[in-house]
Each structure stands twice: as structure tokens, then as C-alpha cells.
């Protein structure tokens, strides 16, 4: 049976870029037809417009919320920071995808405790909800980031602790599988560099880049969801799934997007909390990282949670965006996967 067949699913932070794509993919039935999907987030406006999008309606009055309670896809206002709200949302749920996060690096630097409350306390509330309320949840997938690997910024630090909270929860909740996914920059997600470049090019402005040597891992939203699905298919516990994806210099991303319309590039200097290169698997994690098709899988940091089988290490050095960068047509083809708007822009 497919892993989501007849399951009741909760997606925290379900109105975000990843959350919306995840919900759309779940609704295709490729992983099985769920009994119900609940989008849990604190933004009523985003929920309203997401609801209309899924109903294929441009406008509606508030009465749509009443009909929504009987639909396969439903929406619930709440915040992962609020333990009582998390408990209420998780009652009767089989699988939880925790996509709720404060994820913008500078915002987290200026408001570190806000990041702690969402990214750390939110994960802790999910674990506590299961531990203290005998909930029927069987799988919980935490959505992490490459910035959690050797973190130097608040966002990465809080996401690294989210990973550890979920991994550790496997020890005293043996009936639940807690796994994580870790991936790099999602092309064209809200607040990312590609939409900024597109806007600057359309306006004929200089393109702003922090440093000439800056590199990033790049993947589409669908590839990010593929990674989440890989984690939910697994029978393992305490694992972190990392996709094998391309990396590129940001100056090459700008060059491909500009095409024949070359504009000046302004180097603005590194922002608070930014790395020059991102890492998805550290050299310390290499000895417990195995290869599974298109993914690296990091075994749990706690030795008692690791499998007893002899494992062949997949990596001998850290997995960094500094290595094996793509450019030119290969990079253009990758950017084409970012969605209809970017694809149309590249065909202009």
C-alpha cells in the first residue's frame, strides 16, 4: 500500500511555498489517496487565498470556510508555538509534515528569539503532543535546511536543533518514526534570489549580489517535495534525507537570467548570518552517511538509534555547494524547472 493511502495528514506551515506544493502533490494521489489533509498555519489571509486556489475560484465570501470542514482538504488556524493548538490539530492524525518555520536569514538574526519559538519550540511542541497525549501519529517529518549543517546563523542554528529534537524523540517514542529532510535553496520560493533578479532585470536595474564567489545548492519545489516523500516512504528512524542536487555560483544564475540583456552587477557585501558556500553533509557526518539512489541519508547522531548493519560510507568529504558548479545551458535547464513564470521569463 502507498504510504499516504487513507491517512489523515497534518501540514504545519502549509501555506508556505513548500507547504502549498507539498499539499498539491499529496492531492495527486501519487503517494496514495489520503482520507484528509489539514493545513495548519497562523495566517488567515494566506489560508483564504490558498483555499480559493484549490477550489479554482478567484473570489468568494467567508462562507467557503463552512463548506471546507467537509472537504478532504481543510484549513486550521493555529501556531506551532502554541502547545494547546498543536495538540488539538494533531488529534486523529497519522502523519505530520512540519514545514512551519521562520526561514529568512536576516530576519532570524534580528529577531533570534522569534526563530527559537517557531523553529525549536514548535518542534518540541509536536514531540510533546505525542508524548503526553497518546496520539495515534505514526510518522513525523521535519523540514530542515542546508543552513542547519555547520550553522553560523540563527536560522541554521534553530533548524539544527529542530533536527536533534526530532531525532532524539525516536528514543522514547518507539511507535513513531521521526525523520528529517535537509535541502538547499528552492528556486523561485518567496524571498529567494531568482524572483529578485527577475524583477531587477524587468526594471532594467543593476543586479545585486553579495559576493562574486557566493554559491548555493539549487532545486525546484517539486524536487524538495520528492525528498519529503522519500523520507515518508522510509521505514527508518532518526534519519536525515539529503537530495543530490546541482550547485551554482550566484553570478552565473544572474548571467543566465539576463540572457542577451546584460545589466551591471552590484556587489553589496555579505549579509548578516550568510555563508559564502553552503554545506548539506558535514565532514563529521560523512562517516554515518549512506547512499540511496538520488539521496544521501545521514544516520542518527545517537548511536543507539543506528542500524547494526555494516554501512559503506557514501562520502569521504563534506557535500558543499563550492564543488561541481554548473553554468550555462545546464543551469538554464535547471532554472526552467522553477515554474511557469520563470520558464516564460527565460523564453522571452
What are the start-end ranges of the H helices in the chain? 17-27, 44-54, 64-68, 83-90, 105-110, 112-115, 121-133, 154-169, 193-202, 221-233, 250-258, 328-335, 340-346
Q: How far is CA 247 from CA 17, 226, 326, in A?
A: 21, 18, 6
Q: Is the pLDDT of residue 299 over 50?
A: yes
107-120: per-residue pLDDT in tens? 999 999 999 999 99
Rounded Cα–Cα distance for residues 103 and 65 (Å): 28
- The gap between the terminal CA atoms of the chain, to the nearest Å, is 44
Whether residue 150 lies in the annotated active site: no
Q: Which of 108, 195, 176, 181 is nearest to 142 (CA)?
A: 181
- The fraction of the chain above a pLDDT of 70, given in percent, is 95
Q: How far is CA 212 from CA 106, 193, 215, 267, in A?
A: 20, 14, 9, 7
Task: Compute and round to an integer the Cα radius of gyration of the chain.
Answer: 20
What is residue 71's predicted lDDT score, i.e. its pLDDT? 75
Determine contact, residues 214/268, Cβ cutoff 8 Å. no
Minimum mean pLDDT range among 62-66, 211-215, 230-234: 62-66
Determine contact, residues 181/252, Cβ cutoff 8 Å. no
| Choice between 117 and 49, residue whose per-residue pLDDT is larger | 117
* pLDDT tier, 343 (very low <50, low <70, confident <90, very high otherwise): confident
What single-letter DSSP state applies at residue 206? P
Q: Is the pLDDT of residue 311 over 90?
A: no
Which domains can be identified in the chain, with CATH numbers? Answer: 8-346 (3.40.50.720)
For residues 138-164, give the mean pLDDT. 97
Q: What is the 3 state secondary structure string of 250-265?
A: HHHHHHHHHCCCCCCE
What is residue 126's predicted lDDT score, i.e. its pLDDT? 98
Q: Is the pLDDT of residue 345 over 90?
A: no
Q: Is the pLDDT of residue 278 over 90?
A: yes
Determine contact, residues 247/325, Cβ cutoff 8 Å. yes
What single-letter DSSP state applies at residue 312? -
Q: Helix (H, G, I), strand (E, B), or coil: what is residue 266?
A: strand
Q: Is the pLDDT of residue 325 over 50?
A: yes
What is residue 62's predicted lDDT score, i.e. its pLDDT? 53
From 7, 103, 139, 147, active-site residue? 147
* pLDDT tier, 205 (very low <50, low <70, confident <90, very high otherwise): very high
pLDDT mean across residues, the chain: 92
53-95: per-residue pLDDT in tens? 887 765 555 554 445 445 789 999 999 999 999 999 999 999 9
* pLDDT tier, 45 (very low <50, low <70, confident <90, very high otherwise): very high
What is residue 193's predicted lDDT score, i.e. its pLDDT? 86
* pLDDT tier, 47 (very low <50, low <70, confident <90, very high otherwise): very high
What is residue 64's predicted lDDT score, i.e. its pLDDT? 46
Minimum mean pLDDT range among 8-22, 81-95, 294-308: 294-308
Most confident of 42-46, 53-57, 167-171: 167-171
What is residue 92's predicted lDDT score, i.e. its pLDDT? 95
- The fraction of the chain above a pLDDT of 90, given in percent, is 79
User: What is the DSSP annotation of 114-180?
Assistant: HHIIIIIHHHHHHHHHHHHHT----EEEEE--GGGSS--SHHHHHHHHHHHHHHHHTTT-TTSEEEE
What is residue 144's predicted lDDT score, i.e. its pLDDT? 98
> Exposure of 69 by Cβ count < 10 A (0-12 exposed, 13-18 middle, 19+ buried)?
exposed
Q: Helix (H, G, I), strand (E, B), or coil: what is residue 268?
A: coil
Amino acid at each position: 500500500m502507498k504510504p499516504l493511502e487513507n491517512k489523515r495528514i497534518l501540514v504545519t506551515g502549509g501555506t508556505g511555498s513548500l507547504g502549498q506544493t507539498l499539499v498539491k502533490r499529496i492531492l495527486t494521489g501519487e503517494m496514495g489517496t489520503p482520507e484528509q489533509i489539514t493545513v495548519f498555519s497562523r495566517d488567515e489571509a494566506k489560508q483564504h487565498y490558498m483555499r480559493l486556489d484549490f477550489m479554482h475560484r478567484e473570489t468568494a465570501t467567508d462562507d467557503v470556510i463552512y463548506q471546507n470542514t467537509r472537504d478532504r482538504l481543510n484549513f486550521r488556524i493555529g501556531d506551532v508555538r502554541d502547545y494547546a493548538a498543536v495538540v488539538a490539530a494533531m488529534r486523529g492524525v497519522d502523519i505530520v509534515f512540519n514545514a512551519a518555520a521562520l526561514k529568512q536569514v536576516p530576519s532570524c538574526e534580528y529577531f533570534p528569539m522569534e526563530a527559537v519559538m517557531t523553529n525549536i519550540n514548535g518542534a518540541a511542541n509536536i514531540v510533546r503532543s505525542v508524548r503526553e497525549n497518546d496520539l495515534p501519529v505514526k510518522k513525523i517529518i521535519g523540514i530542515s535546511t542546508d543552513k542547519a549543517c555547520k550553522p553560523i546563523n540563527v536560522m541554521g542554528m534553530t533548524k539544527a536543533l529542530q533536527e536533534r529534537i526530532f531525532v532524539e524523540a525516536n528514543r522514547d517514542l518507539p511507535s513513531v518514526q521521526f525523520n528529517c529532510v535537509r535541502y538547499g535553496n528552492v528556486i523561485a520560493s518567496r524571498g529567494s534570489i531568482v524572483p529578485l533578479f527577475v524583477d531587477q532585470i524587468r526594471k532594467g536595474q543593476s543586479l545585486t549580489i553579495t559576493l562574486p564567489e557566493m554559491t548555493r545548492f539549487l532545486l525546484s519545489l517539486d524536487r524538495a517535495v520528492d525528498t519529503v516523500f522519500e523520507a515518508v516512504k522510509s521505514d527508518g528512524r532518526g534519519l536525515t534525507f539529503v537530495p543530490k542536487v546541482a550547485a551554482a555560483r550566484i553570478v552565473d544564475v544572474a548571467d543566465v537570467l539576463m540572457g542577451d540583456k546584460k545589466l551591471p552587477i552590484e556587489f553589496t557585501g555579505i549579509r548578516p548570518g550568510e555563508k559564502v558556500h553552503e554545506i548539506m553533509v558535514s565532514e563529521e557526518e560523512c562517516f554515518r552517511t549512506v547512499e540511496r539512489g538520488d539521496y544521501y541519508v545521514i544516520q542518527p547522531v545517537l548511536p543507539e538509534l543506528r542500524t547494526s548493519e555494516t554501512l559503506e560510507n557514501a562520502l569521504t568529504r563534506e557535500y558543499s555547494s563550492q564543488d561541481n558548479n554548473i553554468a550555462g545551458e545546464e543551469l538554464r535547464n535547471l532554472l526552467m524547472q522553477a515554474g511557469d513564470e520563470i520558464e516564460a521569463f527565460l523564453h522571452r
